[in-house]
Chains A and B, each alone.
Chain A
Amino acid sequence: MTAPVTGPGVSGLRSGARARRKARWTFDNISFFLVFLGLPLALFLLLVIWPFIQAVFYSFTDWGGFTQEFDIIGLANYERLLNDATFKTALGNNIKLAIVVPLVVIVVAMIFATLVTVGGRGIGQTVGVRNSGFYRVVSFFPYVIPAVVSGVIFSKVFDPSNGLLNGLLPEFLRQNWLGQVSTALPASMFVIIWGAVGFYMLLFIAAIKAIPAETFEASRLDGAGRLRTMWSITLPSIRENIQTAWIYLGIAALDAFVYMHVLNNSGGPDNTTLVMPQYLFRLAFSQNQFGYASAVGVAMAVVTLVFAGVVFTINRLTGGTTRSN
């Protein structure tokens, strides 16, 4: 948010340039505030805060979505939410996603990033593996493909009768990947991970490049192997990036709507891939229960807040700082 940062910065400049307190409300000043503080704030309030308040408000009503009439029913929607088995299933699936997806993406992206930056030959200058530029470009490709497209591609790949995957596998390993309880969620997770690794790899590459090369050289002179370097040098140095990645990935996993909707638009076998936004969408747009759907949305926001809180807490408990400087 720009607001708190801009304010002190401006006054700091002013006070530095010999105090002229009476001239504080010049046209220059006021227009600056209006354009750089007022406008963003107004847009933010109108397009972000206001809809949010509306959603909270509607969660206390039985609004059907098509009329101007509704009754305020207090906490009834939330009461229903607590006893809603389908919602709990969806919440459980989202939690599974929020744990597995960030973990796998970060580990894989980290390994790739290390390989293409510092994983090269063990003597001389610190470099990535041979042809690392090529790998860097190629691994970014999945991220360029829109989620809907990769979803469609993979639902064809996973097709039990004519799919590519079953075609490559020997008979006894063939599965109805998206259609059975045991594999539907892992298969969906794989698609999300496949789509995300490239971007986070790039993020980590940028972070690793910012670590002074001398640090790597010094550790290598002291006899550290590649794994040791990664664990003791790279990881602590890019800790903040990992935390950011974790939160972003977690939030994406708590959503996951696009992938899940394309891969299994009804919620998968026994609802094993149903996620909260899908349930919200169903309630609002096919059952016309916008009030209850709003309550689901509010619950989603709360879950996301809790998730961010948990990540910050874990990072702090393990010795990191909570804020990047």
Chain B
Amino acid sequence: MSDSRSSYTRRNVLRGALFTAAAVPFGLTLASCATGGGGGDDETTGGDESSAPADADNPFGIEEGSTVETVIFNGGYGVDYVEFATAIFNEMWGGEATVEPTTEITAALQPRFVAGEPPDLIDNSGAQAMGFGAILPQLEDLTDVVDAPNLEGTTIRDTLIAPNVLDSGMYDGKLAAINYVLTVYAVWYSKSLFDANGWTAPTTWAEALELGAAAQEQGKFLFAWGKEAATYYQTLAIDSAIKQGGDEVRLALENLEEGCWSKPAVQSVFTAMKEIVDAGYVKPGGSGTFFTDAQAQWSLDQDALLYPSGSWIENEMKDNTADDFQMMGVPTFVVDDSSALPATALHSEAGEPFIVPSDGANVAGGKEVLRIMLSNEAATNFAKTKLAPTVIKDTVPEDGFGSTALVSQVEMLGAAGSDTFTHKFVGLYGLNQAQLVVWNSFLDGSKTVEALTSDLQAITDEARNTQEVIPVS
């Protein structure tokens, strides 16, 4: 078992320490370690690109019968939607496009990036995704995919659900990733429960506090949280602060600025949340509860009325949702009427970033599979099977394939119009784990607003001082 096995290895390492001293004089060239080998590989970007003439049917000049290797994050959405696209690819080009599912993207691909032999298309998603800061120079600019026609003949750029939907894949002016799935961050509730009690979904923190009092009367709570997902409340707070304070707040946080957590908009949100925590409207014990168990307390037991999350929540809790729950979303609350963005403004983010490494054996093939995925046929298939919208518009019918949450998402997106925003510093600099600790303490009531602010600022400051900051504007 783990302890005996790991002790053997550690023991060997210890013995190794003795040998290390002996081995160094033998002149072992340290540089030829995991990073050793050819330095010139970086320059060779997909030799296939000029091998066949490019036209509207074949914009990337793909060769008949060529093989494409894709590595796809096997998370909430599975991998079958990519297999749908590779099947079309195989039919079109008579080649072989393979799909390798994995949940450990970094562990599986980091050595391959170092060796200069990455796969052709990657869905860099999940908790173990590779940080974009580290791999950015090795990725293709995907602008030519967006400017290519889809399988139905329309330019992909014209089929996007909103012009700014690609922004989440822009790093320093380069479209390094195309995020495929549209995620709406909102506060979710049960329409049937709210209707039965005559409640309406709050749009400000003051209304939320009132609803909390109403919930308490019935022995229920306003919010519930789980230990691995305490930072969902951070997302809620950031979204609310951005809606209240506008772009200034977003940019300060995104650029890891000094004092960014002390901005008045952020502070007013923290204070409002603290009021809710202190009033006892948050179900206690979240810091010791598995997040899916906590989510079931909301969706199945209905102990809590509201849950802030991305729109994957419907799919994630599908088997643990009360009958006739009628999941609906409401955009993140604002603090008051003086907010910089309207109450309908929405944190919507395209997720599941698909990337094409420049060193891949078949760069054109990777782009081609991506082009197929962005076509109406494949995108509709995704919306239908996963009950989630993609970045391609007009793929969800009126009835949302029977999902109230999907209809609600489309409505929220429509109401928001161009007032959508996103932020990505938490994932980009790998801050989530450290922030979880802080938020767990805040939500269980043991941290003040001041302590929350200074702890989060310390995490931001450390990231700024130890990692390369990619500017956002």
Contact = CB atoms under 8 A, between A and B. Distances in A.
B347 interface: no
B1 interface: yes
Interface residues of A, number: 72
Interface stretch (B33-41, B78-86, B90-98, B271-279): B33-41
B13 A52 contact: yes
The dominant DSSP class at the B interface is: helix
B284 A156 contact: no
Contacts of B128: 285-286
A249 B3 contact: yes
A146 B290 CA distance: 20
A159 interface: yes
Given A57-B33, A159-B293, A160-B285, A270 B134 contact: no
Interface string B245-289: 000000000000000000000000000000000000001111111
A52 B7 contact: no
Contacts of B39: 68
A184 B30 CA distance: 42
B137 interface: yes
B373 interface: no
B227 A266 contact: yes
| Of listed B107, B228, B286, B430, residue having the most chain A CB within 10 A | B430
B304 to A, nearest CB: 11
B1 A289 contact: no
Interface string A256-280: 0111000011111111001000000
Contacts of A24: none
Interface in A131-147: 143-147
Given A66-B114, A251-B11, A287 B16 contact: no
Nearest to A86: B434
B433 interface: yes
Contact of A251 (B10, B23, B138, B288): B10
Contacts of A271: 437
B135 A66 contact: yes
A63 B35 contact: yes
B318 interface: no
Contacts of A209: none
A204 interface: no
A259 B3 CA distance: 10
Given A58-B33, A63-B35, A282-B430, A49 B110 contact: no
Contact of B444 (A180, A257, A264): A180
Contacts of B20: 49, 52-53, 56
Interface residues of B, number: 68
A147 B30 contact: no
B455 to A, nearest CB: 10
A304 B10 contact: yes
Contacts of B4: 199, 248, 252
A305 B17 contact: yes
Interface string B4-22: 1011001111111101100
A180 B16 contact: no
Contacts of B463: 287
Contact of A66 (B10, B13, B138): B138
Interface string B426-452: 000110111011001100101000000
Nearest to A184: B288
Interface in A303-317: 304-305, 308
Interface stretch (A10-18, A107-115, A171-179, A213-221): A171-179
A1 B106 CA distance: 35
Interface in A178-224: 178-181, 184, 192, 195-196, 199
Interface of A: 1, 44-45, 48-49, 52-54, 56-58, 63-68, 70, 80, 86, 143-147, 155-156, 158-162, 176-181, 184, 192, 195-196, 199, 248-249, 251-252, 254-255, 257-259, 264-271, 274, 282, 285-289, 292, 301, 304-305, 308
Interface of B: 1-4, 6-7, 10-17, 19-20, 23-24, 28, 30, 33-37, 39, 42, 106-107, 110, 113-114, 116, 127-128, 130-131, 133-135, 137-138, 227-228, 283-290, 293, 297, 429-430, 432-434, 436-437, 440-441, 444, 446, 463, 466-467
